[in-house]
Chain A
Amino acid sequence: MTDPTATDSRTTTTRRTTARARRRPHPERWFAFVGLLFISIGFILPFVWMLSTSLKTLDKAMELPPHLIPHPVVVRNYATVLQRGELNFPLLTHNTLVVSILSVLGTTLSSAIAAYGFAKIRFKGRSALFGIMLATMMVPFPVLMVPLFSIFRWIGDHTPIQMLGTLRPLWIPAWFGSAFSIFLLRQFFLTIPDELSEAACLDGCSDWRIFWQIIVPLSRPALAVVALFTFLGAWNDFLGPLVYIQDRQQYTLSLGLEAFQSQHGGTEWNLLMAASVLVLLPVIVLFFLAQRTFIEGIATTGGKG
């Protein structure tokens, strides 16, 4: 990460360049515009298709050649999906929300604490530990999947906390930090000058207070990025619930959607698309709300190794 003082000078340079650039024709910008326009249409078309299919009757959805505009428009598909007993949308959303929210809180908090340790405290063995942490990002989940099962069982047998048969295996590990989030936050914390914290706490106040009163308020965009990434990860997770959730009462949206598909041979396309739209909707709303903080946060954190 570059020295944060450089940011100001860079902004001024940018402004100057822009002013000069306006005076000259830029063919590559037109090229970019046309290119982006076509690519965006390509990216958005699947959504249109999804929405259109979700509003068709099954017979119309299976029609050949297919039509983009649904006729008649069947809004009832959505009601059907919401009312399907075996899908139980409210319960699925409830479970997914429990897992997502607890994961977001846990990951953000614990990762920020660990990132502070990596970024702001100099101690022996720090870089070795940091290296180990980066290496854990390379461990594929399937390696952990099975042994984790034994561990969850062991915890259930030897402590009063029952893991299997509950949603806990999906969110408890989140409270111990995730390597990716720690890495991202550490990069951001490094850009906060030490003088700032030292000045604020002249007479050697505790790390804990520096962390809460200086670092956390200054890092809101980065924390938002971590929270959003974690939320999306938890909301969309499929393999975790597939392995650890048994009871239909504890299904998450991903699992419920997959079960819905496998029961129905995968081709009750209109209902399936309606269900997919419903799963996607909250995520899009969330992104729309957090968009600015998100792009800002990502831009200031960067992803440099």
Chain B
Amino acid sequence: MKYFRMFLLALLGCVTAYLLFLVQPGESSRKDGRVVITYWEKWNGEDAAAMQQVVNDFNNTVGKQKGIYVRYLSMSNVDQKTLVATAAGVPPDVAGLWNTQVAQFAEINALEPLDDLAKAHGITADYYKPVLWEGCRYKGHLWALVSSCGSQALYYNKLLFARKAAALRKAGLDPNRPPRTLDELDRYAAVLDEYETLPNGFRRLKQSGFLPMEPGWYLAYIGYWFGAPIYDPQTDRILLTDPRMVKAFDWIRGYSLRLGKDSLSEFRSGFGTFNSTQNPFIARTVAMELQGPWMTSTFEKYRPAMNHGKYPRSLERSLSPTQRQENCEWGVAPFPSAVPGLNDVTFTNFDVLMIPRGVKHKKEAFEFIAFVNSQAETEKLNILNCQDSPLRQVSRHFFEVHPNPYIAVFERLMAGPHAYGVPPCPIWPEVGAELDNATQRVSLLEASPAQALRDAQERVDEKYREYRERQRARRGSQG
């Protein structure tokens, strides 16, 4: 026993000594006379690796010519860290944040405006897809540019549709195509649900056609599919109690009522992480989802057969676009809207590159941002990330090489007139939190849709009133 203790002690000592003195952070601050730009990004894993390639391209070409070197760091909670570092006077030169923060940061003077630099580099409204250009602007100025972006569409599992073909036909639905109206989607979903009853009477879901909460990442924006504006830029008002919003939340509630809220919770707790074979769409436990173009790469990683069901791999390079689509177990279509005549609605989410206020090398930092936004690099990055291109001009190469054979659907949606983004409201993070809370209350049947939205509206109105008052007072006091 005594020797064992001594052995443990010695071992602990050795390991400690090793970890304390021999492990060194892999610092790669290569300088050789170049201006070093720090770039903080939130991505991890393969997304981070994709951006690393773009950073390397920059350092080896434009960076080399112009004497700029980009130091790339990826981290979690990047928004809070950027904020705190900016407040502390040590901001990164380029920060990779989220689109929800453009207005928030711009309103409090945390960002450098990019109008002149962008113009000098030929990046204008004509260059970008409108929804993204608008999303990067706030109060007449440009504050950010896009790194990656994705629009949302309906994924449906053709295999599960085929398995239930008879039942679908009996319900008057065509098993060979996706739903075209929201009402149709609900009916498809109901046919595709499967459940068992436990001895104590609990209804356990085994498979479901569609769940608003899976993955539910963009549920706060579901109002767009019901024709709700959510925010009115003219009057600068947040419109949560709009009857169309209530209708949208009523639709969410419908699923909890039909399937049972406890059964839903139990079913969802059995889902694996998004990045695993237990992802419910990959595990074939959910037949339809509202998702972005990146899903293909997730399939490729965890169940490649989903992408290569029909043709032998050797033939794949010579397939036509239609054949590539047939090769997949799944299909993509615009997520149907609830309003007749309102077609091709999508919500566009994107990651932005911004320059925090007070950086030392603004011009050099923008060189890098502009480089990321050149057509060649942005297409390269977004092919690697399996996302959309932010630009109006999209090369044929992009469509041919993109891992998602349905990328044209996403591109069309994002370039269309009903592509919506995050409203340009400086307190949107708080509004988003309220909306998330409202979706949870509604889907847990804690409150009626009208009530939940009224509560949320009241709170954000009060917060927004207070916020504007203070900003006004501040401007007044500073002349």
The CA of A149 and the CA of B45, in the complex, are separated in Å by 31
**Chain A nearest CB, measured from B376 CB (Å):** 27
Q: What is the CB-to-nearest-CB distance from B293 to chain A, in angstroms, rounded to a whole number?
A: 19
A249 B27 Cβ-Cβ under 8 A: yes
Of A98, A164, A255, A267, the contact of B90 (CB 8 Å cutoff) = A164
B374 part of interface (Cβ distance < 8 Å)? no
Cβ of B27 and Cβ of A165 under 8 Å apart?
Answer: no
Q: Is A263 an interface residue (CB 8 A)?
A: yes
Contact A268 B275 (CB under 8 A): yes
A97 touches B19 (CB 8 A): yes
Chain B residues with CB under 8 A of A267: 271-273, 276, 278
Q: At the interface, yes or no: A289 with Cβ under 8 Å from chain B?
A: yes
Return chain B residues, CB-CB under 8 Å to A98: 20
Q: How far is the CB of B291 from chain A (nearest CB, A)?
A: 14
CB-based contact A247/B75 at 8 Å:
yes
Query: Please, what's the 1-or-0 string for A77-114, where 1 marks a CB less than 8 Å from any CB in chain B?
Result: 00000000010001101100110010000000000000
Task: Please encode chain A, from 25 to 56, with 1 for each CB lying within 8 Å of some chain B CB and 0 for all others.
Answer: 00000000000000000000000000000000
* Any B CB within 8 A of the CB of A123: no
A263: B residues at CB distance < 8 A = 44-45, 76
Q: Pick out which of these stretches binds chain A: B77-85, B132-140, B446-454.
A: B77-85
In the complex with contacts A86-B44, A246-B85, A289-B274 CB distance below 8 A: no
- The reply to whether the CB of B104 lies closer than 8 angstroms to some CB of chain A is no
Neighbouring B residues of A3 by C-beta, 8 Å: none
Complex Cα gap A91–B26 (Å): 9
Supposing A62-B272, A149-B84, A262-B76 touch, asked if A86 and B8 sit within 8 A by C-beta, the answer is no
Given A91-B23, A164-B88: A285 touches B273 (CB 8 Å cut-off): no
Chain A interface size range: 35 or more
Query: Does B16 reach chain A (CB closer than 8 Å)?
Result: yes
Report the Cα distance A94→B22, complex, angstroms: 9
* Contact in complex: A97, B88 (CB < 8 Å): no
Alpha-carbon distance A268/B5, docked complex (angstroms): 35
Q: Are A264 and B273 in contact (CB under 8 A)?
A: yes
Q: Determine the distance from Cα of A263 to Cα of B78 in the docked complex, in whole angstroms.
A: 13
A21 within 8 A of B: no
Q: Report B158-212 residues with CB < 8 Å from chain A CB.
A: none
Whether A289 and B77, one on each chain, are in contact in the complex, defined by CB atoms closer than 8 angstroms, is: no
CA gap between A289 and B40 in the complex, in Å: 42
What string of 1s and 0s marks CB contacts (under 8 Å) between B239-277 and chain A? 000000000000000000000000000000011111111
List the B residue with the shortest CB-CB distance to A162.
Answer: B90
Tell me whether B122 is interfacial, beta carbon within 8 Å: no
Docked complex Cα distance between A98 and B20 (Å): 7
Q: Count the B residues whose beta carbon is within 8 Å of the partner chain — how many?
A: 36
Within the complex, the shortest CB–CB distance from B74 to chain A, in Å, comes to: 6
Q: CB within 8 A of A62: which of B81, B88, B270? A: B270
Within 263-288 of A, Cβ neighbours of B (below 8 Å) are at: 263-268, 282, 285-286, 288
A255 CB contacts on chain B under 8 angstroms? 76
- Provide the main secondary structure of the chain A interface: helix
**B125 located at the interface, meaning its Cβ lies under 8 Å from any Cβ of chain A in the complex:** no
Asked if A259 contacts B273 (CB within 8 A), the reply is: no
Residue of A nearest to B279 (CB): A265
Q: Is B9 an interface residue (CB 8 A)?
A: yes
Q: Is the CB of B90 within 8 A of A165?
A: yes
Contact A97 B276 (CB under 8 A): no
- Known A263-B44, A265-B274; judge A94-B23 contact (CB<8 A): yes
User: Is B23 in contact with A164, judged by CB distance below 8 angstroms?
Assistant: no
Q: Mark interface residues in A231-270 (1 if CB within 8 Å of B CB, else 0).
A: 0000000000011001111100001001100111111100
Distance between Cα atoms of A162 and B464 in the complex (Å) = 38
Q: Does B401 contact A (CB under 8 A)?
A: no
Residue in B73, B74, B272 with the greatest tally of chain A CB atoms within 10 Å: B272
Q: Which of B1-39 contact A (CB under 8 A)?
A: 5, 8-9, 12, 16, 19-20, 23, 25-27
**Chain B residues near A242 (CB-CB < 8 A):** 77
By the criterion CB–CB under 8 Å, are A268 and B273 in contact?
Answer: yes
Chain B residues near A286 (CB-CB < 8 A): 12
Q: Which residues of A contact B88 (CB under 8 A)?
A: 149, 152-153, 156, 164
A249/B45 in contact, CB under 8 A: no
Decide yes or no whether B417 CB sits under 8 A from chain A.
Answer: no
* CB <8 Å contact, A289 and B8: yes
Asked if B304 is at the interface of the complex by the 8 Å CB criterion, the answer is no
Q: Is the CB of B45 within 8 A of A86?
A: yes
| Most central of A153, A250, A286 by chain B CB within 10 Å | A153
Q: How far is the CB of B48 from chain A (nearest CB, A)?
A: 8
* Most chain A CB neighbours (cut-off 10 Å) among B44, B89, B271: B44
Q: Please tell me which one of the listed residues B20, B73, B87, B271 contacts residue A149 in the complex, with CB atoms under 8 A apart.
A: B87
CB 8 Å contact bits of A160-197 with B (1 = contact, 0 = none): 00001100000000000000000000000000000000
Q: Are B23 and A90 in contact (CB under 8 A)?
A: yes
Contact B25 A249 (CB under 8 A): yes
State in angstroms the CA–CA spacing of A1 and B40 once bound together.
54
Taking CB as reference atom, which chain A residue is nearest B78?
A246
- CB of B278 within 8 A of CB of A248, answer no
Q: Which residue of A lies closest to B81 (CB)?
A: A246
Contact A59 B277 (CB under 8 A): yes
Query: Is the Cβ of A285 less than 8 Å from the Cβ of B8?
Result: yes
Interface centre among B19, B40, B89, B90 (most CB of A within 10 A): B19
Q: Which residues of A contact B75 (CB under 8 A)?
A: 246-248
Residues of B within 8 A of A149 (CB): 84, 87-88
Judge whether B270 and A64 touch: CB under 8 Å.
yes
Taking A165-B90, A248-B74, A267-B273 as known contacts, 17 extra A-B pairs with beta carbons closer than 8 A to each other, sorted by chain A number, are A86-B45, A86-B48, A93-B19, A94-B19, A97-B16, A101-B16, A149-B84, A149-B87, A152-B88, A164-B90, A247-B73, A266-B273, A267-B278, A268-B275, A285-B8, A285-B12, A289-B12
Give A contacts to B, CB under 8 Å.
58-59, 62, 64, 86, 90-91, 93-94, 97-98, 101, 149, 152-153, 156-157, 164-165, 242-243, 246-250, 255, 258-259, 262-268, 282, 285-286, 288-289
24 A-B residue contacts at CB 8 Å? Answer: A58-B278, A62-B270, A91-B23, A91-B26, A93-B19, A93-B23, A94-B20, A97-B19, A101-B16, A101-B20, A149-B84, A149-B87, A152-B88, A153-B88, A164-B85, A165-B85, A242-B77, A246-B81, A249-B27, A259-B44, A259-B76, A265-B274, A265-B276, A266-B273
Residues of B within 8 A of A (CB): 5, 8-9, 12, 16, 19-20, 23, 25-27, 40, 44-45, 48, 73-77, 81, 84-85, 87-90, 270-278
